[in-house]
């Protein structure tokens, strides 16, 4: 049996400061971003928004928006959403799904901000 040593290197102080500053900045932006996205998708039912930090090999800050009763003719608004994201220097991710008891399409929209 071999044992593996895992070295943990905590994030540098400057990285932690950058992350904290970005988090504060993005939290201030959330209401405006939420309003712009709701206006861009005015016919989809808005179910809420949230934000948080996710870690993998890099650290990302995300805004998530949940829409219900979404229809495929709503894809015309994708360009508006991408324009909002480009202005914010964010990446856009869509996850589409249906609930078991309802045929309506739900969409989770994520705006990802890389913490550099």
For residue range 52-82, list pLDDT tens digits in order: 666 555 556 667 777 665 555 556 677 777 8
* Rounded-to-integer distance, Cα 23 and Cα 77, Å: 27
What pLDDT was estimated at residue 38? 74
Is the sign of the CA dihedral 66, 95, 42, 98 positive or negative? negative
Q: Per residue in 75-111, pLDDT tens?
A: 667 777 788 888 877 788 777 777 776 666 677 777 7
Give 40 or 73, the one with higher predicted confidence. Answer: 40
Q: How many CA atoms lie within 13 A of 100 on its CB side?
A: 0
Instruction: List, in order, residues 6 or more apart from 49 with CB less than 8 Å away.
Output: 30, 34, 63, 64, 65, 66
Taking only Cα atoms into account, the Rg of the chain, rounded to an integer number of angstroms, comes to 18
C-beta separation of 84 from 36 below 8 A: yes
Nearest to 54 by CA among 24, 103, 88, 19: 19
33: tokens are: 């971003």
The CATH class of the 13-114 domain is alpha beta
More confident residue, 6 or 112: 112
pLDDT value of residue 68: 65
């Amino acid at each position: 049996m071999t044992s593996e040593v895992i070295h943990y290197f905590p994030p540098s102080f400057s990285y932690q400061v950058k992350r904290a500053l970005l988090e504060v900045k993005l939290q201030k932006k959330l209401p405006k971003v939420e309003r712009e996205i709701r206006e861009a998708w005015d016919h989809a039912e808005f179910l809420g928004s949230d934000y948080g930090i996710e870690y993998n090999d890099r650290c990302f800050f995300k805004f998530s928006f949940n829409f219900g009763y979404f229809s495929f003719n709503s894809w015309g608004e994708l360009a508006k959403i991408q324009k909002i994201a480009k202005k914010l220097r964010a990446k856009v991710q869509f996850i589409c799904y249906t609930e078991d008891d309802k045929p309506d399409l739900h969409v989770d929209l994520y705006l990802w901000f890389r913490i550099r």
